[in-house]
A and B are shown apart, each in its own frame.
Chain A
Amino acid sequence: MHSDRASLGLKIAAVGGLLFLHLPILLIFLYAFTTEDKSYQFPPPGLTTEWFGVAWNREDIWPPLYLSLWVATIATFLAMILGTLVSAAMARASFFGREQISLLIILPIALPGVITGMSLRSAFSIMDIPFSTWTIILGHATFCIVIVYNNAVARFRRLSGGILEASADLGANSFQTFRYVLLPNLGTALLAGGMLAFALSFDEVIVTTFTAGQQSTLPIWMLQELVRPRQRPVTNVVAIVVFTATFVPILIAYYLTRGGSETAGAGK
């Protein structure tokens, strides 16, 4: 008879796999308090909170942090507009070239980041475009569109077309229907998509290194510290900041869409 109980071995492998996914991240939190600043010694010889103060007073951390926040905000904003538009078109109609468009939206995230980055770099080089904040935003917005799109298109599909027709029957024009019917229904899905896009952009490093030139976002700052460590405990503190800045939006996105058929985050 087919039994519906998991074997002990399977349970151990599954739970072990989950622990494997989570324990390494917890270690970062421990290291932020270590008194050892020359190596990655484990266990830490002592615990201290002084590094948070040191990191706070470091002048070179703030500009990258502001740049990252600024880039993520603008890129998310652009991606939300473009992603919503394309999902509205894709959800309702069937037309020639629909498959190709869906491929085009997914491509920036399906191909390795190094290709997206190198492509943009080639284009800037050919067209003699100097690196600026906008070249970073250009890249980020491109791969954030698909995140917003995924969330919005799932909600559009669940939305019955009937309520849009009802709205029209009751005398609302397209803009009123959008404002009073469509937007309230899409709201949480768009917000979730925006949260995920923000998290993705804030943390992005691969495409950014190709489009930033001499500028430094927080992940680039961190990457430089990883390659050539200067003050390891400060990097640990920044790692916690980056982790939190991505973790919180993800949790919000999950709670905004949980229970639906289209829980956010199933695809990155």
Chain B
Amino acid sequence: MTSPTPAILPERGLADRLTALFWRHPRLLLAVLLTPPLLWLGVVYLGSLFALLLQSFYSIDEFSGVVKEEFTLKTYAELFRAQNLDIIIRTLVMSAAVTIGCALIAFPIAYYAARFARGKWKAVFYLGVMLPLWSSYLVKVYAWKLILAKEGIITWAAEGVGLSMILNAILAIPGIGGNSLSTSPLGTFIVFVYVWLPYMILPMQAALERVPTSMLEASADLGASRAQTFRTVILPLAMPGVIAGSIFTFSLTMGDYIIPQIVGTSARFIGLAVYQLQGTAGNIPLAAAFAVVPIVIMLIYLTIAKRKGAFDAL
């Protein structure tokens, strides 16, 4: 007679012993899983952020150009010089304009994709937004350099349909115009809107998809016209999505330094200032202080957004 198999199998080696250990102490498994990624993010990322903060409290010796590793607020005070303040204000105005531009163009796309697109069209809209989102950033910017160039397709098209007058009139407007679209602030604005547009569409669409159809029917039953339903039901419910999208467009515009370098006037933005200060100028403390500005602005922005419930739409 064979003896019955024991209820508890014998251990087959280290792997089994570890399994038993993890089973008895689930926290241990958790710690094993979390330690490598947290070490990486904690040391590499948080460590670097801390280094950034530390650098911003250093200053540079104006004569020798050597970084003085002593605590000072001098570098932050430099941010308030007229020329640096100009850079910050210019960046904020551009970020706000780009955010509004993105919201206006994104809304019909997100609305159509969320409410009306079905079946095949749903996939078309999804891929149609996702592919430009993920495809190469530099290639997109480059494409616009070709488009906006003085000898490029827009000038050609404007001549073709006899709208050169209007194009020239727009370019003549001081403040947004310039020699050609590719050397004007308007050009910078267009490229920013294009590049960050998908970041606005996706959260907007997510928010709009959550608007229940029954609510629209109720609105209609209560006698609201389509316009009234849109204004009093759909738009307020889409707002968290708009705010979530604006976090991306605002933050990305504020930190970008490639686009203003390639398309636009040579006027500096925060990102470009950071890049030039740490590179050619070798003024890492001031570059670090400049980089802290977007962090502070985004923290304020995120606090407001959180109160408006934007994070549920992410």
Contacts and interface: CB of A to CB of B under 8 A. Distances in A.
Interface in B78-120: 105-106, 108-109, 111-113, 115-116
Contacts of B123: 258
Contact of B128 (A10, A18, A85, A168): A18
Interface in B116-134: 116, 123-134
Nearest to B17: A173
A41 interface: yes
Interface size of B as a range:
35 or more
A86 interface: yes
A11 interface: yes
B59 to A, nearest CB: 14
Contacts of B241: none
A85 B144 contact: no
Interface string A95-136: 100000100110110111111101111110111000000000
Contacts of A266: 130, 202
A2 interface: yes
Interface residues of A, number: 94
Question: Which one of B22, B27, B44, B144 has the greatest number of beta carbons of chain A within 10 Å?
Answer: B44
A25 B139 contact: yes
B265 to A, nearest CB: 15
A115 B298 CA distance: 12
B46 interface: yes
B295 interface: yes
A43 B216 CA distance: 48
Interface stretch (A52-60, A183-191, A235-243): A235-243
Interface of B: 9, 12, 15-16, 18-19, 22-23, 26-27, 29-30, 33-34, 36-38, 40-42, 44-49, 51-52, 54-55, 67, 105-106, 108-109, 111-113, 115-116, 123-147, 149, 151-153, 155-156, 194, 197-199, 201-202, 216-217, 219-220, 226, 229, 251-252, 254-258, 261-262, 270-271, 274-275, 278, 284, 287-288, 291, 294-295, 298, 314
A250 B152 contact: no
B138 A205 contact: yes
Contacts of A258: 123
A14 to B, nearest CB: 4
Nearest to B199: A268
A108 B219 CA distance: 42
Interface of A: 1-6, 10-11, 13-14, 17-18, 20-22, 24-25, 27-28, 31, 39-43, 81-83, 85-86, 88-89, 93, 95, 101, 104-105, 107-108, 110-116, 118-123, 125-127, 138, 141-142, 145, 168, 171, 173-176, 196, 199-200, 203, 205-206, 209-210, 219, 222-223, 226-227, 235, 239, 242-243, 245-247, 250-251, 254, 258, 263, 265-268
Contacts of A108: 41, 45
B147 A82 contact: no
A243 B134 CA distance: 10
B133 A122 contact: no
6 contacts: A14-B113, A17-B108, A27-B147, A42-B146, A104-B45, A268-B133
Contact of B144 (A24, A111, A142, A243): A24
Nearest to B143: A24
Nearest to A15: B112
A265 B133 CA distance: 9
A226 B142 contact: yes
A176 to B, nearest CB: 8
A124 B44 CA distance: 10
A115 B50 CA distance: 12
The residue among A21, A200, A209, A247 with the most chain B CB atoms within 10 A of its own CB is A21
A118 B293 CA distance: 12
A86 B201 CA distance: 29
A93 B22 CA distance: 13
B84 to A, nearest CB: 16
Given A125-B284, A239-B143, 16 more contacts: A3-B226, A6-B112, A17-B106, A82-B37, A86-B33, A93-B30, A105-B37, A111-B298, A118-B288, A122-B54, A173-B16, A173-B18, A175-B19, A239-B139, A242-B138, A266-B130
Contact of A115 (B16, B46, B146, B255): B255
Given A11-B112, A85-B33, A122 B48 contact: yes
A17 B151 contact: no
Given A27-B153, A246-B136, A20 B45 contact: no
A6 B271 contact: no
